Structure 1
């Protein structure tokens, strides 16, 4: 599969790995709002105005990456920023220091299930509030580390195609920062996807240089800047 599918990741995910979740047809589709706020179009300038009314109800806002549709009156499309799209094309070798160095390196990384959902929603509401919804965990596998009986950090899988997996929600509770937990989880999910024949990629704001540096130090490189848009009905 050509790496070019990553230029339109929402659409490509909705017509491949997540087609069972996709709402819409033709040249536009979106995730259910309780799963994710993302909408994709097949190509720039796609004429999907008639279909959007059913997909983006009044009061809702959809988010787009890379491609944007042609729009008639009654819609507001706003360029939010250009995100860094980063990719890890080769597995990162294990090395000394993959742990955190503060005594937490032995804390188990576990796959999170429905029994952990409330803990995940509480953590993401605190540190990742804009993109994580009640059913976001339906998109892929999520992993976490518990310390002192509390969910300290998570990382998971969001969009994906046959040969690519987007890593997302890589975050740490403020009480557990500085222990290398995000790095452990990042490496765990990245290596696991490579072992399954899938190449990890992710999106991060340039306004979060600490995260960008973390990814650069752990096998990721900048693939491109990709425009990030919001779409809502005009008042």
Structure 2
């Protein structure tokens, strides 16, 4: 992997919006953001910081929310802080359990003892996905978020009990996100199976999986480490309200 592709992880939102997610982007000057209903993530060009924040305020409008991925420079004091969250950015190194064909959706051996298999979730599954997100709180997820990439799920008796999907897509990489399991279905390895299935898809395209996780969630960090992910760097997520 060339150094430019690794550097793309320093600004995964901006790199995604200016590249493979350009069809889901809106921009003003040095600022770029996802379309409403897709995601609240925004980015400003670091080399044009002052102009970038002004451009972002014009892009989003007054009193709107800006979700920033590890922006190295804070906005002007007129911007209202909403949250600060410390986390890790992790990349798949291939040193854990390697993803393989059996992790693909609907593969004959991709089911657990109860017969629940990994399935691809389409537009008709969005209401169920939103309900699962509301119950499990894996992070930002909106009605159009599934347009960012492929989402996989596991059903129990027809009910969606676990899911995970693809989110940011900087050059050479795809982020695994929205990994969640309903409380009544935890402890059955659903999250690990979904992460492996997504990693198999991503690596089959010649890309590398990466993800973000809160430092306050050691169980998730341990799960990702077992799956072959290692920490690239610590990150700080911040949310602001425009003036």
TM-score, normalised to structure 1's length?
Answer: 0.89
Which residue in 1 is equivalent to 2:44?
Answer: 41
CA distance 1:130–1:59, change in 2 (3 Å): farther
Of 70, 76, 79 in structure 1, the residue corresponding to residue 80 of structure 2 is: 76
Change (3 A) 1:68 1:39: farther
What is the aligned-residue RMSD (CA, Å)? 2.4
4+ residue runs of structure 1 moved beyond 3 angstroms?
Answer: 68-73, 98-102
1:93 aligns with 2:98: yes
Tell me the CA shift for residue 21 of structure 1: 1.2
Shift of 1:120: 0.7
CA distance change for structure 1 residues 46 and 77 in 2, over 3 Å: closer, same or farther? farther
Q: Does 1:195 align with 2:204?
A: yes
If the length of structure 2 is used for normalisation, what is the TM-score?
0.86
- What's the CA shift for 1:157? 0.2
Q: 1:162 to 1:2 in 2, by over 3 A?
A: closer
Deviations 1:190-209 (A, max 9, x none): 11111111100000001001
> Any unmatched runs of 5+ in structure 1?
none
Q: Matched residues in 2 for 1:94 and 1:5: separation?
A: 24
CA distance in 1, matches of 2:75, 2:217: 31
1:28 and 2:31 equivalent? yes
Question: Quick one: distance in 2 between partners of 1:51 and 1:12?
Answer: 18
Could you tell me which runs of 5 or more consecutive residues in structure 2 were left unpaired when the two chains were aligned.
104-108
Deviation per residue, 1:59-87 (Å, 9 max, x gap): 42111112255644531246602210000
Select the structure that is richer in helix: 2
Q: Deviations over 1:4-46 (max 9, x none)?
A: 1101111111111111111114321011231111001121661
How big is the shift at 1:90?
2.7
Write out per-residue CA displacement over residues 83-102 of structure 1, whole angstroms, 9 at most, x where no aligned residue: 1000003374269xx88997
